[in-house]
Structure 1
Amino acid sequence: MTRSAALQETRRQTVLLLVLAVAFVVAQLFSDGLTRGPTGVAALWPGTALLSVGLMALGPPRRLILTVVVGLVHFALCLAFGDGLDRALVFTLVGLVEAWGAREAVRRAFGGPPRVRTMRHLALLMTVIAPVVAVTAALAAALLALLDGAPFMALWRDWFVSGALGMALIVPAVLVLIDAEHRRTFHRSLGERLGLFVLMAVLTAAVFHDTRAPLPFVLFPAAILCAFRLGPRGAAEAALTIAVVSLPLGVWNIFLGQLLAPWNPAQMTRLIQCFVTVVFVTALAAGLALAQQERLRRLLVRREQLTRAARARALAAAEAKTEFLATMSHEIRTPLNSILGFAQLLASRQDLPADAHRQVGMIDTAGAALLTVVSDILDVSRVDSGQVELLMQPASAQAVLHDAIGIVRPEAQAKHLSIEIDVVDPVGGLHDLDALRLRQVLLNLLNNAVKFTERGKIVARLVVEPGEVEDRLRFEIADTGVGVPIEDQARLFQRFVQLDSGATRAYGGAGLGLAISKSLVELMGGRIGADSAPGHGSCFWFEIPAAEAEPLAAPVAEAARDPKAARILLVDDHPMNREIGVGLLRLAGCHVETAENGRQALAAAARGHFDIILMDIHMPEMDGLAATRAIRALDGAAGRVPIIAMSADALPQQVERCFAAGMVDHIAKPVQREVLYAKVGRWLEAGS
């Protein structure tokens, strides 16, 4: 606690001590002077309740001060109103015992300072205090019966009723009034608060001015109004206002003889006290319910704020991650483009010795493995950000399976592994599939099968089960490899999991292929799993639903033309990238001109007649996007030339920006010769 907060708390406790002491003196003057019944016990007994709540709310030094002040004042007032020394001692000491007993019982029940914030708290408070009052009432009745010979039960009844009513009204009312939470929850202007207090006082005075008119019921809606506007504090203040105004008026009416029945002051006081307690409990219930609703509302608002803040942080983190991945992807792909590009150029040379060709092949293989890791990481990012969208087109599941097997077959043959294909397809038709993503899943499973199988064979199986609405396609990739222990199978599809992750691991990879496959299969609406046993191989399978489809007419632009004799403008600021691109294109017989930035590309496009422009994105002076927009603004054929992005920017949003700028296609670096030739041939055919 800070020093200013400590000083503020000290002042608050001092003020509370003074208010409780003054309230005790005034209440005892009224109760001892005007409300004593035939047994000598006052019908109104708020003093013990005031002391009890003070003991609950005050710190140790002030508790002792309040106890001493209350004890001395109480003893003096008893003597002043005609009690003997022995009776004054009984009243004073039993009152102190009752207050301290209530304080200890409440503290134990609440586990600390009590708070009345729900009806459960109120019920617990009264349940704990009632036995204490009953025991102290029995003690007082026994002592007074010994002193005066008065009936024990009459004494016990008067003491218990007076004490219980005082506790039921004063303790929860004061606890509510001093609770800062209620002040914050129902903060109202001073004018509104004063207006409601005046309304309660005027109504109470009107009701109890002449008790022969039975109008107390009009106080209920007024008290409920106070509870609705001011919360539990309003209910407590309304009840105390009614008590302060009605009790003196009720006793005064007794003396004026304005009652329909022969009530004495003690009976009238007890009746009014019961009425005030009922009004208070009723209004307090409404106030506590409203306070709880308000707390829940504020909690929901706070949670919504936290959720929005967390969402904003998550979006910022996702944006930062995307930016990081985009940067790292670009920075990794750029040198990787040089590695794989020069490896392809070297592999095409006929003057290299056999060992050099083999070493170039190893460079190409290592670079391809690194490219796979980079692509897998980008795929994970796409899945996490929800950027993976399926492109459903009519395709043959058998053809996709054969394509995937054709890609991995050379590696399998290098390990002397055979690949068998088993297809059960009663119809053999086409289905609505994302052939690219389906091939990616199959390649992940087939590559794993080849990687973890040293001898034997791999069996690729496709089973098509016709359905009324959709067919079910089940793919199985079985191998005779090392197998997977049962306890490890649950981790197979987790990210970055390598079952041989120790220092002696024999297999490479980032552990992302199966996780990506699981995400893609689930995106297709299917499921994936594995059946395996150590030493008996593995069978990875997945099932996807697919609707039958009719074949589409192949567009003319899809046919790739031989790129020979094509005039191509290659735009890239990196000398090695230009050298690789020129080398690959000239191998295909193309005529190539180069530009180092977007400004040079714009000038070349304006004066030349190019069939295709291959455009990098990140360049000095003018980037590729700006250059593309400027070229599209040119008149005539120069503004319509196909522009293909050839960049290390490979994330979906980056590719989308290329299309938005006016480019027609995208080739991701590192540039693969087959992909380059296919893209160039396609757009040459489209432009012819």
Structure 2
Amino acid sequence: MTLSLAFHEDRRQTALLLTLSFTIVAAIAFSEYLTRPTLGVAAFWPANAFLAAGLFTLKGLRRLALVVVFVVAHVAVCLLTGDELLRALLYAAVDSCEAGAVWAVCHRLWKGAPRVRTMRSLAQLPAITTPIAAGSALICASVLHFGYGAPFVESLIDWFLRSALGLAVALPATLVLIDAEHRRSFQSPWSEQLLLMFGVATIALLCAHPAAGAPPALLFPVTLAAAYRLGARGAALAAFLTIAIVMPMAIAAGSSPFNATQDPVIQARTIQVFTSLLFYTCLAAGLAFGQQNRLKRLLLRRELLARAARGRALAATEAKTEFLATMSHEIRTPLNSVLGFAQLLAAREDLPPDARRQVNLIDSAGAALLTVVDDILDFSRVEAGQIELLPGPTSAAALLRDTVAIMAPEARAKGLTLDVEIVDPLAVLHDLDADRLRQVLINLLNNAVKFTEEGRIDARLTIEPGDIEDRLRFEITDTGVGIALDKQGLLFQRFSQTDSSPSRLHGGAGLGLAIAKALVDVMGGKIGVDSVPGRGSCFWVELSAPVAEPAPAPEPAKPAAPGAARILIVDDHPINLEIASALLALVGYEVDLAENGKQAVEKAEAAAYDLILMDIHMPLMDGLQATRAIKALRTPTGKAPIIAMSADALPRQVERCYAAGMVDHIAKPIQREVLYAKIERWLHPQPDAEAAV
């Protein structure tokens, strides 16, 4: 790869040397033969600019070879036009030194070759080259005045304009043509480039020829069109082409549309000013168009990079979701056996006390593990933006008391005092999502109990009436370890804990408070903490809620006897079938079993079932396919409610269950109370429940 790049660079340098050598010889001949005879001094001298550009871009011996070509061509052409050898050598030496001085100064300022890509760099070049041109003009004028008796002022002006115009126009134009960035900015087809240059040449001929009489202002639109379509390179080519046609023809003709006077000096000065204005106008426009084009390409590139980054982020999110789903399923499946059999053992009346205590410990440990898994699922719902509130008439005071009652046994087991204080002057109902608010308060109370070894925990509710909404403030205050100020900022961040050392006393995934904050944010409230290390903490939640009217009390349902219901359990895992059937048998349901979706469809065709509990991942036919097939049956079972009973508990997985035709979802490990409640709900649905679904 390195050898290939070196080979290509060597070829590029050689091609550049040949091109610049030819251009220098042609430029010297052009200036000496076409623009010098009338004035005695060339009106336009670009050869020094070409030599300076070569000094910038060539390396090593090629740079020296270009200088030799310049000096030899300069001397030879001067001799052919009638100059004596000494004068020819003087001109060649002064011009070579001028180009060398431009190269040295620019190289020092730019730390390399200058790049004409902005208006600033375009203005900097003539600011550097003009004083150098004035110095070389002063040298030539002095030698010609004292050595050959030429007028000093006229010689100084002629030589200064000759060199300054050549450097100011040809040097930036040459650097633009060499710069690869300008070639990449505008990649027009050759046919369009040739057509534009043909138009420039045609208008230049019409403006320069005395017989045509076309106004010189016509050159501006066509050269600007070249700059618009080809960028700065088009402007540079148009400028060189215009100068090559206009300057010799107009000066040689003696009278042209550029100036009505016959004075050749004034004629030359007019053409010099016009070509300078034309060049800088077009090149400035070309640079502006090029900058605009580069910005477009940069924006496009950044957009492509942003799309690629977004794609990688989505892929990473998808991979994380799949990993989370897999791990959740793999954890819940064995946990279903642990908790299921623990519940079955705990229901037995023939257990000795020590065995019952051990079974309860197993159940407690499994429940703790299930809490961690549920926290991860809740957090995935938060990240996916799938938290939906179901507000309804709620007594905030009753909700706090019920929540405290749930946590009271754990507090008493640690010898803690747990009190409730309610400040509610109106005692009205508020429009709140009771389940989500209870989840937040349980999390705060659970943390208070966990991190308090002795003392008390106080739960306080203060309600301040308002004109439109009331302000509710919940406070959970403990006498626990407290939290250092520098650690408080980590509390509500995901996967963060105030104590992550190996010797920490309390476990957890570090998601509970992050989920609580997300829920409070969705409810439009605020959550925070005030804590002093060693003196305890006070976690608070502030919400605004409107007053709600009490909901009409539903008529009490009269459920049929459990034994009247026949339930089909579908699961490919024998242990899961055993647990589910045992739990349902405890309350008298008639149970039938199927080991896969295909068998479930066959049984649904052959017998009538009041409800089906369906696993998702099964061989031969999965739960989603089986649900669709059963729903398509014209038998009574085809209308039976199908409840998913699966370790797939992520939001997206649950949505697939509903989309397949299932009416509800029970996440493994199976909680006996949840199982019974959902079966009862769908065996004896209330009108409001059906409407909600």
Establish whether TM, by shorter chain, passes 0.5: yes
- In the alignment, structure 1 residue 390 sits paired with structure 2 residue 389: yes
CA distance in 1, matches of 2:125, 2:547: 71
In 2, are the aligned partners of 1:568 and 1:590 still within 8 Å (CA)? yes
Q: Which residue does the alignment assign to 1:484?
A: 483
- 1:505, CA displacement in angstroms? 0.7
In 2, are the aligned partners of 1:318 and 1:385 still within 8 Å (CA)? no
- 1:43, CA displacement in angstroms? 2.7
In 2, are the aligned partners of 1:383 and 1:519 still within 8 Å (CA)? yes
Which deviates more, 159-168 or 212-221? 212-221
- Whichever residue aligns with residue 19 of structure 2, its letter is V
In 1, are the aligned partners of 2:255 and 2:262 still within 8 Å (CA)? no
Q: Percent identity?
A: 57
Q: Which residue does the alignment assign to 1:167?
A: 167
Q: 1:412 to 1:213 in 2, by over 3 A?
A: same
- Whichever residue aligns with residue 644 of structure 1, its letter is I
In 2, are the aligned partners of 1:49 and 1:166 still within 8 Å (CA)? yes
Q: Which residue does the alignment assign to 2:277?
A: 278
Q: 1:557 to 1:337 in 2, by over 3 A?
A: farther
Q: Which residue does the alignment assign to 1:514?
A: 513
Q: Which residue does the alignment assign to 2:74?
A: 74
Q: Which residue does the alignment assign to 2:423?
A: 424
Name the SS of the counterpart of 2:684 in structure 1. helix
Q: Which residue does the alignment assign to 1:646?
A: 645
- 1:236, CA displacement in angstroms? 1.0
CA distance in 2, matches of 1:522, 1:655: 24
Q: Which residue does the alignment assign to 1:499?
A: 498
What per-residue deviation string (whole Å, max 9, x for no partner) do you get for residues 211-263 of structure 1? 89471011111111111121111111111111111122112202999974232
CA distance in 2, matches of 1:282, 1:555: 85
- Whichever residue aligns with residue 117 of structure 1, its letter is R
CA distance in 2, matches of 1:85, 1:120: 42
In 1, are the aligned partners of 2:210 and 2:255 still within 8 Å (CA)? no
Name the SS of the counterpart of 1:361 in structure 2. helix
What per-residue deviation string (whole Å, max 9, x for no partner) do you get for residues 642-673 of structure 1? 22111111111211121222222111111111
Q: 1:141 to 1:468 in 2, by over 3 A?
A: farther
- Whichever residue aligns with residue 208 of structure 1, its letter is A
Q: 1:420 to 1:245 in 2, by over 3 A?
A: same
- In the alignment, structure 1 residue 622 sits paired with structure 2 residue 639: no
CA distance in 2, matches of 1:463, 1:427: 11
Structure-to-structure mapping, 1:264-663, within 5 angstroms = 264=264, 267-553=266-552, 563=562, 566-663=565-662
Q: 1:351 to 1:383 in 2, by over 3 A?
A: same
Q: 1:258 to 1:396 in 2, by over 3 A?
A: closer
- 1:153, CA displacement in angstroms? 4.7
Which deviates more, 364-373 or 9-18? 9-18
- Whichever residue aligns with residue 298 of structure 1, its letter is R
- 1:374, CA displacement in angstroms? 1.2
In 1, are the aligned partners of 2:601 and 2:626 still within 8 Å (CA)? yes
Name the SS of the counterpart of 1:231 in structure 2. helix
Q: 1:81 to 1:503 in 2, by over 3 A?
A: same
Which deviates more, 550-559 or 66-75? 550-559
What per-residue deviation string (whole Å, max 9, x for no partner) do you get for residues 606-628 of structure 1? 33343322221111222222222
- In the alignment, structure 1 residue 191 sits paired with structure 2 residue 191: yes
- 1:175, CA displacement in angstroms? 1.4
- Whichever residue aligns with residue 313 of structure 1, its letter is R
Which deviates more, 477-486 or 673-682? 673-682
Q: Which residue does the alignment assign to 1:181?
A: 181
- 1:2, CA displacement in angstroms? 4.8
CA distance in 2, matches of 1:545, 1:238: 72
CA distance in 2, matches of 1:665, 1:479: 39
Q: 1:252 to 1:617 in 2, by over 3 A?
A: same
In 2, are the aligned partners of 1:412 and 1:450 still within 8 Å (CA)? yes
Which deviates more, 206-215 or 93-102? 206-215
- Whichever residue aligns with residue 91 of structure 2, its letter is F
Q: 1:26 to 1:661 in 2, by over 3 A?
A: closer
- Whichever residue aligns with residue 631 of structure 1, its letter is I
In 2, are the aligned partners of 1:562 and 1:681 still within 8 Å (CA)? no
Name the SS of the counterpart of 1:551 in structure 2. coil
Gaps of 5+ in 1: none
Name the SS of the counterpart of 1:43 in structure 2. coil
- 1:155, CA displacement in angstroms? 3.9
What per-residue deviation string (whole Å, max 9, x for no partner) do you get for residues 168-212 of structure 1? 110111112222222222222222211111111111111111089
Name the SS of the counterpart of 1:475 in structure 2. strand
- Whichever residue aligns with residue 235 of structure 1, its letter is A
Gaps of 5+ in 2: 688-693
In 1, are the aligned partners of 2:493 and 2:513 still within 8 Å (CA)? yes
- Whichever residue aligns with residue 248 of structure 1, its letter is P
Q: TM-score, normalised by structure 2?
A: 0.93
CA distance in 2, matches of 1:530, 1:258: 83
CA distance in 1, matches of 2:619, 2:391: 39
Name the SS of the counterpart of 1:686 in structure 2. coil
What per-residue deviation string (whole Å, max 9, x for no partner) do you get for residues 550-593 of structure 1? 33346669887774553322221111111111222222222222
Q: Which residue does the alignment assign to 2:691?
A: none
Which deviates more, 633-642 or 360-369? 633-642
Structure-to-structure mapping, 1:123-134, within 5 angstroms = 123-134=123-134
Name the SS of the counterpart of 2:644 in structure 1. strand
What per-residue deviation string (whole Å, max 9, x for no partner) do you get for residues 40-79 of structure 1? 6433221111111111222232211111111222233334
- In the alignment, structure 1 residue 110 sits paired with structure 2 residue 105: no
CA distance in 2, matches of 1:29, 1:502: 84
- 1:487, CA displacement in angstroms? 1.4
What per-residue deviation string (whole Å, max 9, x for no partner) do you get for residues 256-291 of structure 1? 999742322x55344323212211111112211111
Q: Which residue does the alignment assign to 2:666?
A: 667
Q: Which residue does the alignment assign to 1:27?
A: 27
- 1:459, CA displacement in angstroms? 1.2
- 1:146, CA displacement in angstroms? 4.4
Name the SS of the counterpart of 1:532 in structure 2. strand
CA distance in 1, matches of 2:406, 2:132: 87
In 2, are the aligned partners of 1:615 and 1:624 still within 8 Å (CA)? yes
Q: 1:527 to 1:127 in 2, by over 3 A?
A: farther
Q: 1:128 to 1:493 in 2, by over 3 A?
A: farther
- Whichever residue aligns with residue 491 of structure 1, its letter is L
CA distance in 2, matches of 1:126, 1:118: 14
In 1, are the aligned partners of 2:470 and 2:546 still within 8 Å (CA)? yes
Name the SS of the counterpart of 2:612 in structure 1. strand
Name the SS of the counterpart of 1:579 in structure 2. helix
What per-residue deviation string (whole Å, max 9, x for no partner) do you get for residues 109-164 of structure 1? 33333222221221122223333333333444444444345565544433332222
Name the SS of the counterpart of 1:499 in structure 2. coil
Q: 1:258 to 1:198 in 2, by over 3 A?
A: closer
Q: Which residue does the alignment assign to 1:96?
A: 96
CA distance in 2, matches of 1:428, 1:632: 48
In 1, are the aligned partners of 2:209 and 2:256 still within 8 Å (CA)? no
What per-residue deviation string (whole Å, max 9, x for no partner) do you get for residues 342-386 of structure 1? 111111122222111111111111111111111112222222222
CA distance in 1, matches of 2:556, 2:193: 80
Q: Which residue does the alignment assign to 2:50?
A: 50
Q: 1:304 to 1:38 in 2, by over 3 A?
A: closer
In 1, are the aligned partners of 2:457 and 2:478 still within 8 Å (CA)? yes
- Whichever residue aligns with residue 199 of structure 1, its letter is G
Which deviates more, 541-550 or 555-564? 555-564
CA distance in 1, matches of 2:231, 2:555: 77
CA distance in 2, matches of 1:420, 1:443: 15
Which deviates more, 293-302 or 585-594? 585-594
- Whichever residue aligns with residue 420 of structure 2, its letter is I
CA distance in 1, matches of 2:550, 2:65: 96
Q: Which residue does the alignment assign to 2:222?
A: 222
Q: Which residue does the alignment assign to 1:204?
A: 204
> What do you get for the CA RMSD once the two structures are aligned?
2.6
Count of aligned pairs between the two proteins: 687
